[in-house]
Structure 1
């Protein structure tokens, strides 16, 4: 069990969007996910974060906490289809 990296200055809706992406990444590793489902979550996540540096910070913290890579799932999602890492 681990804690999701979050910014508690975000609104409740923004926190839910970020958690939705983390859940999508977990799903890609644990059971698989459709690329379009992941990309919907990823695109919403990118709207919450203000900069590329902030994206990298949260991606790194999530990977450190979970060992799951948002970027690896994103790269697979660009190919389309079903993702299972």
Structure 2
């Protein structure tokens, strides 16, 4: 798909790469499936970079507007599934 990933100009190059990796995992959950543990690891790293709820919501909303993929629904499904497995929507 052709769209831009949201990012903050104050992030380091490594942080931008990690946030993009998180959003790529959201895409993977929609397009195929993703291992819950892999997604959890990427989400935890995303939360280290974007610790605030308001910022998380803003960035995820930007991604959803651009891509059509809801990070919220993927993360909710991940949290609702307590055991290892695959996440797909």
TM range (shorter): over 0.9
Could you state the TM-score of these two structures normalised by the residue count of structure 2? Answer: 0.90
Give the gaps of 5 or more residues in structure 1: none
Provide the aligned C-alpha RMSD in A.
1.0
* Aligned equivalent of 1:68: 69
The count of aligned residue pairs is 85
Could you state the TM-score of these two structures normalised by the residue count of structure 1? Answer: 0.94
2:64 partner SS: helix
Give the gaps of 5 or more residues in structure 2: none
Give the drift of 1:50: 3.8
In structure 2, distance between residues paired with 1:68 and 1:24: 11
Instruction: Kindly report structure 1 stretches of 4+ aligned residues shifted beyond 6 Å.
Output: none
